[in-house]
Structure formats: C-alpha cells, structure tokens
Chains A and B, each alone.
Chain A
Amino acid sequence: MRIKRKEKEAVSRRKYKATAENLIIDSVVWILLILILIITAYPFYYIVVASFSEGYDFMRGGVYFFPRKFTLFNYQALLSNEKWIRAFGVSTARTLLGTLLTTVITCLVSFTFSRPDLAFGKFYRFLVVFSMYVSGGIIPYYITLRNLHIVNTFWVYIFPAMLNLYFIMVGINFFSSIPTSLIESAKLDGASDLGAFFRIALPLSTPFIATLALFTAVNQWNAWLDSAYYVNSEGLRTIAYRMMTAINQTRGQQSNAGGDIVATATTMTTQASAMVTSMLPIMCVYPFLQKYFVQGIMIGAVKE
C-alpha cells in the first residue's frame, strides 16, 4: 500500500506548470505551513530565550528573539537546587527502569498472546481487551495500590505500568504478521518458544520496540499525577511534579494581585530553564527514533 511517495513526488515535479491555480494553491500552502511552523516552533524557542535571560530584565518585557541580558544564572540556580537535582534523579531512574521493564514485558506478553497455537489464547486476549474498555476508576485503583503497599514507594511508578494494554494489542497484531513458518523452523532447529522469540521475532520487530520504548519513556518522564497523589515523601517527587508545583506557586502569586514580583521574576526564567532541561532528553532521543516510530504508529492505527 505504501512506499510510493518518492515515485509520486517525482511525477508531480515533472508535470509542474506555473498555472494560476498552481500559484494560488502553492502560496496558500506556503503561508499556512509557515504559520503552523511559527505557532509550533516559536513557543519552544521563546522558552529557550527566557531560560538564558536575566530574570528582572526579562520581566520588563520586550524580549522576544534574543536574551537582552544573557545569563547562565537560571541553570546554575536550577542545578544547585537539591530538590530539582533529586527530582531529575528520580525521573531518570523511573524512565530507565520503567522503560526497560515495560518494553521487555509488553513485548514478551504480546508475542505470547499472538501465538495461534497458544492454549487459552482467545481467553487471554479477551481479558486484555476487556480491561482496556472497562476500568474501576481512580478511587478503587488507589485503594488497590494502597492495599498492595506500593503507595509511597518508588515501585508505584514502575509496577502498574509494566503491562501496556494498548501496545499489547498493537504487538499482537504485529507479531501475528510474522510468518508462523519462520517461528516453526527455528523450533525445528531446537529453539524453545522463548528462544524463537529472542532469535526470530525480536530482531524483526525494531519499529514496534522503538515505538513502544519511546512512548513508555515519554510517559514515564512526563508523569506527574502519580507523583502528586500516590507518593508523599519529598524524595520521590519527579521532575514533572516539580514543574507543576513551580507553576502553582506562580499562579498563587498572580492571584495575590501584584504579589511578590521579585519572586515571580526569578521563577519565570528558572521555570524556563527547568523546562528546557526537562525537554532535553526527549529532544535528544527522538530524532533517532523518528523513522521507527512513524512505522510503529502505523502498525497500530492503520487497517489495511
């Protein structure tokens, strides 16, 4: 169905004529896309500018494209704040461990559930689908977590996320597309079921694994709700939670009519530096995973 884009582009380029219609459409397309580019990219750029700006000076306004008073103070302030450092540690730990466990387990389970000869396979798959659509809601969920004694521990970030139901369904779809004969031939060569998974299925599933890992990592890194409500020890707070409290502080000052301008001035630019720092890991990883996850998303979303 796909991979004809290059061909198509070549065709359209060859046939291009500067007719009135083409000119009008092209200019509309250019204008709209440039507008979209600005609306999406500029906020990120602006935050970067703010993060390198001197707080009081930034508050005077008029800083749009370059820091008027360049400073690294915001980053220094951030990196000398133990709470933030600790939060970075917690977020890094949960992202690394969580991504590893979720990816391995979700992959393994979806491979298992995708085997056509699996005894009770239909029943297993039904259990997954059922729990995708029916859930107990937040309070029963919280009571369960408390009952399992993982509330207020680091594991509350890891264990509940280990099975990603949506990706199990995607994975079942994906692994079913691997020819059974491939798996069978590996087993004839003496490989066990899991041996066949690691030797045959896994190397073929890079797009699926990359997508799953990227999404899990992003979710783990961005999570703040569990840190706000399932944990009350300050040492377990995540970076996104710290961002949240920083915002709430600023909000509080706003509603105090005027408020403490001095504090606001520094929080605004420090927040920007925290934001840049917290986006950095994702920005670094995703260009490399990009080509895989476009494929990966397609596995999940497009019926052919």
Chain B
Amino acid sequence: MAADKTSKPDKGKGTKLLKKLRKQWQLQLVALGALVLLFLFCYMPLFGIVIAFKDYTVNMGFAGIFTSKWVGFKWFEQLFTYYQFKDIFRNTLVLSLLKLIFTFICPIILALLLNEMRVSGFKRVVQTVSYLPNFISWVLVYTIAMAFLSTDKGIINEVLINHGWIKSAIPFLSEPKFFYGVAVFFSVWKNSGYWAIIFLAAISGIDSQLYEAAEIDGASRLKRLWYITLPGIKSSVVTVLILSIGGLLGGGMGGSNFEQAYLFGNTVNYTTSEILQTYAFKTGLSQGRFAYATAVDLFQSVISVCLVVTANLVARKTTGEGLF
C-alpha cells in the first residue's frame, strides 16, 4: 500500500490524492491495519499453494515453500491412485449435494409452518427453541447423537429394543450405510431454525392486502400459500440458495461439512464418511505429509469451483438469478 500512496502518475492528480490521504489519515490508518491482517492471514497462505507441486516437507519452514524442488503432478497422481479415492470423491459430492437440498428445503417448510401457526406464543416458543442448536458446537451435537443413537446406551435403540420392535441394536453411528442419513439429519437439525428466521421475515414482508384480496376472491388457505406466500419469498429463497451454493463443498447451509465428517466419521464407517477435507486434514496435520495434503486441498477447491459454476448456471436457468 505504501507504494500506492507515494506513486504520482500525474502531478496534479497526485497532490490531490495526497491531500485527500492527509485529510482522511485516520481512515487510511485503519485500512492499513486491515491490509496487514489480510496479508498475514489470507494472502500469505496463498503462496503456500505451490507446495502442492513441490517436494516440501514439514521442517522446511516458510522459505522452503520457494526453495523446495518441483515435482509436477506427483501428489495428484498419488491421490488419484489411492485405493480409497473413489469413496472419498463420491462422499464429498454426495454429502454436499444432499445437504444442499435438505438444509435448503427444511427451513422453508419450517418457516411456512410457523407462519400458519395461529397461536403466537407457541410460535415464538418453537422458533426460539429451533435455533438453539445453531449455537452449540458440532462436538456437542455429536455428544447428543451418541446419547440417542449409539448401540450400547443410545436412547433410540433402548426404546426400540424394549418394545420388541428390533432384536439387536442398530449401529446408526458406525454402519457405513447410515452415515449419509445421519449426517443430513443433524445438519438439518442444527441449522433449520436459523435459516427459517430469514424466510419468516420475508413472509412477514408480504403485503397483507394481497391476502385480503385473495380471501375476498375466495382463494383457499392452501391456494393463498401457493400463489401469494411462495412467490412472495422467492427473492429471499434465491438469495439464500445462492449463498449456500457458494459454500457448497463447505456443507452448504448446514455449515461445516468438515467438522461433521471429522467428528461423526470413525474407523468403521470411513467408506462413507471420509471426504476430501477430512482426508487432507488427517494426512496433513496428523501425518505431516504437507505437500500431499495441500494437493488434496487444492483438488477440493477445483471441484468446488466447478460445482459452484454449474450450480450457478442451474440457478440462473431455473430462477433467472445467479451469483455471477
């Protein structure tokens, strides 16, 4: 930034700029501080991406990023030939898409239900309680999941067995085939209430005269829902959809795909729970294979960009609005 401040391409313009800078020195000082933070924590890590193509090891330090040997696509080849690669790749895509769909639709349904609730006290209670889970960490969500779903002390298994509906406990948290369902359920559980706030606010912004007019014309409640409420919240729906598409591989509106897969995944269900992010994390920070893990991460980002572009195209085709 210092270079920008002193550069004077045109003298008249330059002195004017200098005057402006002097006048708003406080603001520029704040901006400078922000730039330092941005550089340290956002832009410096960007340089590090090159180690995905280099023979970088843990003890090389920051300078090693530039001095280490180039190895081309070695790490990517290693990733693509890794025997679990297919599973990991599939899980990444399937989980992201499932979560995008469900964590998007459920809050809308919740908002519509809340809107149709006539007892405003009860409505407020449900609303307040429903966004409570948004404020607890995934660690606590997993503790709750264990308390309810584990085989030896899970309350669900206990009740099912006591009633004689099943003979032996269902391993919800370890059997691979249950992972997608469990993951989607808890994402919805954690985040629906939060996003419903936005849709509810959008619903409350719809002109009440529309409803009155429709009622006079004899439109039934379902018809009013279909022809007034839903079109009325369309723009918020699209905005939220686009927001969540932006974070698709991050888990969409369900928040952290990574944290969830990391906590809910274990050695038994890894065939469905391991995703690119957790794999990068484990190989990188736990096993110290920095260069390889960066390559995995980079591959993930590339997929993410492809998905966002595709999803944006679809959103634009179907709703007429897009992110870019």
Interface residues, chain A, with chain B CB atoms under 8 Å away: 1-5, 7-9, 11-13, 15-16, 21-22, 25-26, 29-30, 32-33, 36-37, 39-41, 43-44, 46-47, 50, 59, 61-62, 64, 105, 108-109, 112-113, 115, 117-120, 123-124, 127-128, 131, 133-144, 146-148, 159-160, 162-163, 165, 192-194, 218, 221-225, 229, 240, 243-244, 247, 250-251, 254-255, 264, 268, 271-272, 275, 278-279, 282-283, 286-287, 290, 294, 297-298, 301-303
Contacts and interface: CB of A to CB of B under 8 A. Distances in A.
Contact of B34 (A8, A44, A112): A112
A21 B45 contact: no
A272 B146 CA distance: 11
7 nearest A-B residue pairs (beta carbon): A140-B48, A136-B45, A222-B137, A137-B297, A131-B42, A147-B62, A5-B204
Contacts of B301: 135, 137
A119 B21 contact: yes
Contacts of A294: 197, 201
Given A124-B34, A143-B62, A301-B198, 15 more contacts: A4-B207, A12-B211, A21-B222, A26-B116, A32-B113, A40-B133, A115-B27, A128-B38, A133-B246, A194-B30, A247-B139, A275-B140, A279-B136, A290-B128, A298-B198
B152 interface: yes
B239 A127 contact: no
B239 A302 contact: yes
A280 to B, nearest CB: 11
12 contacts: A16-B118, A21-B220, A33-B114, A44-B132, A112-B27, A135-B301, A138-B285, A243-B140, A287-B128, A297-B194, A301-B239, A302-B202
Nearest to A225: B259
Contacts of B205: 1-2, 4
A49 to B, nearest CB: 10
A236 B125 CA distance: 38
A139 B290 contact: yes
Contacts of A61: 153, 158
Contacts of B281: 138
Contacts of B49: 136-137, 140
A1 B207 CA distance: 8
A268 B38 contact: no
A250 B146 contact: yes
Interface string B127-155: 01110110111111011101110111101
B130 A43 contact: no
Contacts, number: 274
Interface residues of B, number: 104
Contacts of A59: 153
A159 B155 contact: no
A127 B26 contact: no
A133 B33 CA distance: 21
A161 to B, nearest CB: 9
Contacts of B33: 105, 109
Interface string B152-194: 1101001000000000000000000000000000000100011
B100 interface: no
Contacts of A222: 136-140
A180 B151 CA distance: 62
Contacts of B267: 255
Given A59-B153, A298-B198, A240 B139 contact: yes
A9 B120 contact: yes
B293 A135 contact: no
A144 B48 contact: yes
B285 A268 contact: no
A175 to B, nearest CB: 12
Interface in B238-275: 239-240, 243, 246, 259, 263, 266-268
Contacts of A221: 137
Given A115-B27, A144-B40, A137 B133 contact: no
A32 B122 CA distance: 13
Contacts of A50: 147
Nearest to A128: B38
A237 to B, nearest CB: 13
Interface centre among B43, B158, B201 (most CB of A within 10 A): B201
B45 A240 contact: no
